[in-house]
Amino acid sequence: MKEMVEVENRQRELCARYGSNFVSAPPDSILGIALETLGKFPVNGLRHPPEKGTSGWYIWCGESLDIRPDFFAPLRVSHLIEKCPVSIPSLGLPPGSRFLLGEKGYEDVWFDATLWRVCMLSQGAPSGAPCRLT
């Protein structure tokens, strides 16, 4: 329990540093991870809206994102500690967020408007309406 509180605190700190709202990625939710890329840098992540038990996160490592339908495998957020622990502090970022983590502590976080449009469309929001983050 204490460990989960510490993880959430680190996620909230990262969100505050980048001026973002905190949106939880519950430990039992599912993310997409490119297992065959693990161990490479940079580590990349993007977040779509969470829905139907997913966190909305997709994580891959390396310079390129593959478009093959089997590139990402489902993984519970709670298992990420074993597969890609460096990404865990970024998982509290809201939908529409992207991150890039490089060697030697490099970190970049930004908002990607194309992901936000996916959020709006998935919830049937009219253009310009806020997306619900539940």
Q: Is the pLDDT of residue 6 over 60?
A: yes
Give the per-residue pLDDT at 127: 44
Rounded Cα distance, 83 and 31, in Å: 12
Domain coordinates of the chain in residue numbers? 2-122
Pairing of strands 73-76, 43-47: unpaired
Rounded Cα distance, 95 and 76, in Å: 18
Give pLDDT tens digits for 37-86. Answer: 999 999 999 999 898 999 999 999 999 888 888 999 999 999 999 999 99
Q: Is the pLDDT of residue 129 over 90?
A: no
Record the pTM: 0.85
The conformational region for residue 13 under phi > 0 = left, psi -120 to 50 = alpha, else beta, is: alpha
More confident residue, 117 or 8: 8
**Banded model confidence at residue 134, pLDDT cuts 50, 70, 90:** very low
